């Protein structure tokens, strides 16, 4: 089990490290508050421990990002309190996405029991998360999870102007051949991207903080893989900059684009928001 740790002083770091290590977990340390989300995305811990002290303003944005990011939003984020005068700090961070607080001034035996309980609950939650978010047979994300994350990206686009792209990939062939090709496709996406099964032969990739140029580069890699598999396929690209910022409208545009794509010879088709139609896109 991986645990991500950031604390504001060496004494608290040492105390918590000993408690975590006693459970058999592996610790990864962030060097600064703004590294928390990045390291969490990279290591995918099952538990995030943060000792904020009185530095709440520096942590609020990171806590919000952890609470909303697809790779960390279901990861418990526990605050470590060794400063009883910082009550407002913890109240603020709990409101922004942290899940609970541990009082590190308690007795050693009680703290050990709490960290063992955290270890057990984090493992159970990870199992439930895996079952809920992914398909048992393929291991790919479910459509319901992808839709949930697409709605999150739409909200960020409307609120903060952060762009994103949706790429649909439709493969046609026998089930085992489609699955093998899809497995190779899933390995070519970036760590921050989400790859999942939308329908039987339809797969989707969500590309957060991405422009169409980045999505086209991914489509190029996908095309090369599918050519190796000799797999009849089409790809549909819809960008949040195309004027579509609602999840349902994005999906409808992607499906229309795929339908039109199968009527042509080009692999990648993009939705043109101004023309309200799909256009062939050269890789």
Write the CA distances from 219 to 105, 235, 254, integer angstroms.
53, 7, 14
Among the residue ranges 13-22, 184-193, 258-267, the one predicted with the least confidence is: 184-193
pLDDT tens sequence across 61-116: 878 888 877 667 778 899 998 877 667 778 888 888 888 999 998 999 999 999 99
pLDDT tens sequence across 135-162: 767 778 888 889 988 998 998 898 889 9
234 pLDDT above the threshold of 60: yes
Give residue 37's pLDDT: 81
Return d(Cα 141, Cα 75) in angstroms, integer.
17
Give residue 212's pLDDT: 94
Where is pLDDT greater, at 132 or 271?
A: 271
Write the CA distances from 180 to 5, 138, 184, integer angstroms.
37, 10, 7
Write the CA distances from 27 to 39, 50, 78, 276, integer angstroms.
12, 12, 14, 50
Return d(Cα 236, Cα 152) in angstroms, integer.
21
7 pLDDT above the threshold of 80: yes
What mean pLDDT value characterizes the chain? 87
Mean pLDDT in residue range 156-178: 92
167 Cβ contact partners less than 8 Å away, ≥ 6 residues apart: 204, 205, 207, 215, 218, 219, 222, 235, 236, 237
In the chain, the domains with their CATH numbers are 2-133 (3.40.50.2300), 143-281 (3.30.70.270)
Give residue 63's pLDDT: 84
pTM for this predicted structure:
0.61
Q: Which two tokens stand for residue 159?
A: 């609120």
């Amino acid at each position: 089990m991986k645990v991500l740790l950031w604390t504001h002083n060496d004494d608290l770091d040492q105390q918590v490290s000993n408690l975590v290590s006693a459970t058999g977990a592996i610790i990864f340390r962030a060097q600064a508050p703004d590294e928390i989300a990045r390291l969490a995305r990279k290591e995918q811990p099952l538990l995030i421990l943060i000792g904020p002290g009185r530095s709440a303003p520096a942590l609020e944005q990171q806590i919000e990002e952890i609470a909303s990011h697809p790779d960390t939003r279901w990861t418990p984020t526990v605050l470590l309190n060794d400063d009883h005068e910082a009550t407002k700090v913890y109240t603020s961070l709990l409101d922004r996405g942290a899940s609970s607080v541990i009082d590190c001034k308690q007795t050693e035996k009680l703290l050990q029991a709490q960290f063992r309980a955290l270890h057990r609950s984090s493992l159970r939650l990870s199992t439930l998360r895996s079952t809920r978010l992914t398909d048992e047979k393929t291991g790919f994300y479910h459509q319901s999870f992808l839709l949930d994350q697409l709605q999150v990206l739409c909200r960020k686009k409307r609120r903060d102007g952060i762009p994103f792209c949706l790429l649909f990939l439709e493969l046609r062939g026998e089930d085992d051949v489609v699955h093998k090709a899809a497995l190779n496709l899933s390995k070519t996406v970036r760590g921050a991207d989400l790859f999942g099964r939308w329908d039987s032969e339809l797969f989707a990739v969500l590309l957060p903080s991405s422009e169409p140029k980045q999505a086209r580069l991914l489509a190029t890699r996908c095309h090369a893989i599918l050519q190796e598999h000799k797999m009849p396929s089409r790809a549909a690209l819809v960008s949040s900059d195309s004027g579509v910022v609602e999840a349902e409208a994005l999906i409808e545009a992607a499906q229309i684009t795929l339908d039109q794509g199968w009527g042509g010879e080009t692999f990648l088709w993009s939705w043109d928001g101004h023309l309200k139609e799909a256009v062939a896109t050269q890789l």
